[in-house]
Amino acid sequence: MYLDTIIVGAGFSGLYQLHKCRDQLGLKTLVIEEGKDVGGTWYWNKYPGSRCDTESHIYCYTFSKEIYKNWKWKERYPKQKEILNYLKYVEKKLKLRKDIIFNNRVISATYLENKKLWSLKTNKNRLFYCRYLISAVGSLSVANIPNINGIKSFKGDWYHSGRWPNKKISFKNKKVAQIGTGSTGIQIAPVLAKSVKSLTIFQRTPNYSIPARNRKLTKSFVENTKKNYLKIKNLLTKTPGGHAFHFAKKSIFEFNETKRLKILDKAWLNGGLSFRACFSDITKKLSANKIVSNYIRDKIINIVKDKEIAKKLTDFGHPFTSKRPTLNTNYFETFNRKNVRLIDLKTNPIIKITKNGIRTRKEELKFDKIIFATGYDALSGPILSLNLIGRKKIKLKKYWKNGPKTFLGIMIPNFPNFFIISGPGSPSVLTNVPAQIQQHVEWISNFIKYLEKVKSISVEPSFKETESWVKKINKLAKQSLFMKAKNSWYKGDNIPGKPKKFIPYPAGLPQYRKICNKVQKRMYKGFKISLK
């Protein structure tokens, strides 16, 4: 099957990109999706307690006033099901389904230099050809399932949060093990704890977490967001993370202790990701960060009744926000329940998974079910899973051997006409992802429009620009607090053998947008465009 454009993935990015390519650029476009339906992340992440920790009125598309105004969010943070329904609504509204094929995973993509086409193969042995190939596979779609000895011998069921089965799973009265305490684990535990017989949480690194303070949205709030559609849309282009909050202008050091505490208490009570923005320097300056990190530690210690457990939950060893900040609803309170236990993997590591459960250094534990909330081979993993072979038979795996290299996070030398939405080298996971996705889809679409106009047969970035983009990211990362975390998936530390390089662009969405716009204005300087 021959197409102008193939998009891989039918989540937030793939759906919008299909609309742009098909309906605005007039290209014959197809989306190939592994799942049975649209949704991407929100199709796969059906684990108990799954919801977004960005606020609903901004965790959505803003490109269409009509779509924005016609959808009513119910809660401050939308549940997985609600986001999935939203994406299905958008898909229906834009009549996208007819150009999506489901249940097909792209297993290889090879550039045919003589034909100037990409050839794609799926796991169902279907073959496709296209001129433009766009990755909309997301940043967090390749599950990290730790290679723990004995997993095959386990008689019970096990699941990864990001590959949750499509059927209903009952945990009622079961003995459950949960490995991992990142954003996902912190969401799962309080929900599961209510119905299981016992929940044993295996923690490798304690995590800072801010109260989410979820609530039902009032009618007037919802009406207000719709009235202020343009204002909100505009605001999301101005804030560093594409969120609806600005960072405070003043440093924490401009206040005395009493005033500081008052500001922190107010932000804590409000909850949400904006907590980190209540002073200008929490995410930037170690001395400011320390004060806030200690504040959070004290809050947690106050919640958890058992002081030994509280200590284990707060033995952080990294600054707040140097790893992905998480939100919680009663996560720390969960450890006050009689049926919940914390295992600190630092002092009591897992030796193996057995027929009946998990053996740690200190004991043998029996479980009916194991949940891996162990995260992802982030950003580069999903792109590498496409098994791309570019010009001169160059394998992407080889070119990225020492870490992902892209220009603007969008294109790779020797991989012509291949575009990435929210890929390595773009702000992606450091932002409110739909905001970044829209910026990328619009930029890529403008680029393709230009390429069509000038009758380009192929385009790729120069090595020089690509190398200098990678250097720029490394330099920016070095100046940031992100590098103060010993182990973080932002730097690939969670995957054995993965190059330890900071992956996303860390200087914020407005700065990144500015650079992209400049490249566009300068007729795509940094890209080599070959004409017919």
Minimum CB distance to ligand N01, residue 266 (Å): 23
Distance between CA atoms of 107 and 355, rounded to whole angstroms? 33
Category of 524 on φ-ψ map: left (φ > 0), alpha (ψ -120 to 50) or beta: left
Residue 376 C-beta: closest distance to ligand N01, Å:
6
- Edge-to-edge strand ranges of the sheet holding 157-160: 157-160, 369-372, 175-179, 198-203, 340-344
The residues binding ligand N01 (CB under 6 A) are: 52-54, 140, 144, 146, 161, 179-185, 202, 204-205, 324, 345, 373-376, 429, 487, 489, 494
Query: Measured between alpha carbons, how far is 365 from 255 in angstroms, rounded to an integer?
Result: 50
Dihedral class, residue 105 (left if φ above 0, else alpha if ψ from -120 to 50, else beta): beta
CB-wise, 189 or 411, nearer to ligand N01?
Answer: 189
Nearer to ligand N01, 489 or 512 (CB): 489
Residue 232 neighbours by CB under 8 Å, 6+ apart:
57, 58, 62, 225, 244
∠ CA 104-375-133, rounded to 5°: 35
Token duo for residue 387: 């098994």
> Of 153 and 228, which CB lies nearer to ligand N01 in the complex structure?
153
The residues, ordered by sequence, that sit 6+ positions from 353 with a Cβ below 8 Å of its Cβ are 148, 149, 150, 151, 153, 154, 359, 370
The residue among 136 and 429 lying less far from ligand N01, judged by its C-beta, is: 429
Nearer to ligand N01, 384 or 485 (CB): 485
Residue reference for tokens 């992905």:
324
The DSSP call for residue 134 is: E
Burial class (CB in 10 A: 0-12, 13-18, 19+), 47: buried
Name the minimum Å distance from CB 373 to ligand N01: 5
CB of 148 to ligand N01, least distance (A): 7
Least Cβ distance, residue 472 to ligand N01 (angstroms): 23
Closest CB to ligand N01 among residues 289, 458: 289
Closest distance to ligand N01 from the beta carbon of 452 (Å): 35
When the beta carbons of 163 and 395 are compared against ligand N01, the nearer one is: 163
For ligand N01, the closer of residues 3 and 509 by Cβ is 509
> Any idea which residue has 């997993």 for tokens?
151
Q: How far is the CB of 276 from ligand N01 (least distance, A)?
A: 14
Looking at beta carbons only, is 118 or 502 nearer to ligand N01? Answer: 502
Closest distance to ligand N01 from the beta carbon of 94 (Å)? 23
In a 3-state reduction of DSSP, which class is residue 177? Answer: strand
Q: State how far the Cα of 522 lies from the Cα of 524, in Å rounded to an integer.
A: 6
| Minimal distance, residue 151 CB to ligand N01, in Å | 11
Q: Sign of the C-alpha dihedral, residues 301, 306, 311, 312?
A: negative
Q: What interhelical angle do 509-521 and 433-453 show, nearest 10?
A: 0
Q: What span, in angstroms and rounded, lies between the C-alpha atoms of 95 and 115?
A: 31
> Of 276 and 324, which has the nearer Cβ to ligand N01?
324
**Residue 395 DSSP code:** B
Least separation in angstroms between CB 184 and ligand N01: 3
Apex CA 90: angle with CA 85 and CA 94, to 5°? Answer: 150
Phi, psi of 299 (to 5 degrees): -60, -45
Nearer to ligand N01, 99 or 493 (CB): 493
* Closest CB 143 distance from ligand N01, rounded Å: 9
Q: Which two tokens stand for residue 189?
A: 């535990």
Q: Which two tokens stand for residue 359?
A: 């053996």
